[in-house]
Structure 1
Amino acid sequence: METSSVLIINLLVWFLLLANVLSFSTFEKLVLPPSVTGPESASFDRGGEGPYVTVADGRILKWKGPSVGFVDFAYTSPNRTKIACDGTNDLKFGPICGRPLALSFNYKTSDLYITDAFFGLLVVGFNGGLATQLSGGYKYLSGIDVESYTGNVYMTDASLTSDSTGRLLKYDPRTQRVTVLLSGLSGGGGPAVSSSRNYVLVPDYINKKIQRYWLQGPKKETTEVFLTDCGSPKTIKRAVNDGEFWVAVEKQVQQQPVLTEPQGLRVNGSAVVLQTVPLTQFSDMTLAVVQESNDALYVGSSYTDFVGVYKN
Structure 2
Amino acid sequence: MSSSLVSALACALVLSLCSVVLSEAPAFQKLPVPGSRSGPEAFAFDSTGKGFYTGVSGGKILKYTPETGYVDFAQTSKPANKIWCEGVLGTVLAQICGRPAGIAFDEKTGDLYIADAPLGLHVVSKAGGLATKIADSVDGKPFKFLDGLDVDPTTGDVYFTSFSSKFTPAQVYIAVGLKDASGKLFKYEAATKKITVLVEGLSGSAGCAVSSDGSFVLVGEFIKSKIQRHWIKGPKAGQTEEFTSNVTNPDNIKRIGSTGNFWVASVVNVGLKATNPSAVKIDSEGKVLQTVPLKDTFGDTLVSEANEFNGSLYVGTLLGPFAAVLKL
TM > 0.5 fold call: yes
Give the 3-state SS of the residue equivalent to 1:80 in structure 2.
helix
2:284 to 245, 269, 273: 269
Per mean C-alpha deviation after superposition, the further-off stretch among 94-103 and 138-147 is 94-103
Task: Quote the residue 2:52 is aligned against.
Answer: 51
Structure 1: segments with no counterpart, 5+ residues: 1-10
Task: Quote the residue 2:161 is aligned against.
Answer: 156
Contact 2:274-2:302 within 8 A present in 1 as well? no
State the superposition RMSD in angstroms.
2.5
Task: Quote the residue 1:42 is aligned against.
Answer: 43
Contact 1:60-1:72 within 8 A present in 2 as well? yes
Q: Say whether residues 1:127 and 2:144 are aligned partners.
A: no
Task: Quote the residue 2:324 is aligned against.
Answer: 308
Give the 3-state SS of the residue equivalent to 2:43 in structure 1.
coil
- Cα 1:258/1:98, change in 2 over 3 Å: closer
Q: Per-residue deviation at 1:105?
A: 0.5
1:194 to 211, 223, 237: 211
Q: Per-residue deviation at 1:229?
A: 3.4
Q: Say whether residues 1:144 and 2:159 are aligned partners.
A: no
Task: Quote the residue 1:74 is aligned against.
Answer: 74
Task: Quote the residue 1:98 is aligned against.
Answer: 98
- Cα 1:262/1:93, change in 2 over 3 Å: same
Q: Deviations over 1:40-92 (max 9, x none)?
A: 11211122132101000110000021x42100000000343332321222635
Task: Quote the residue 2:226 is aligned against.
Answer: 209
Per mean C-alpha deviation after superposition, the further-off stretch among 40-49 and 242-251 is 40-49
* Structure 1 CA distance for aligned equivalents of residues 261 and 49 of structure 2: 19
- Percent of pairs with identical residues: 43
Structure 2: segments with no counterpart, 5+ residues: 1-10, 138-142, 165-171
* Structure 1 CA distance for aligned equivalents of residues 229 and 272 of structure 2: 33
Q: Deviations over 1:188-238 (max 9, x none)?
A: 411000011111111011111111111111111111111113211111001
Q: TM-score, normalised by structure 1?
A: 0.88
- Cα 1:83/1:108, change in 2 over 3 Å: same
Letter in 2 for 1:192: A
Per mean C-alpha deviation after superposition, the further-off stretch among 290-299 and 54-63 is 290-299
* Structure 2 CA distance for aligned equivalents of residues 286 and 166 of structure 1: 19
Letter in 2 for 1:127: A
- Cα 1:198/1:257, change in 2 over 3 Å: closer
Q: TM-score, normalised by structure 2?
A: 0.84
Q: Per-residue deviation at 1:17?
A: 10
Give the 3-state SS of the residue equivalent to 1:91 in structure 2.
coil
* Structure 2 CA distance for aligned equivalents of residues 142 and 106 of structure 1: 18
1:285 to 288, 297, 301: 301
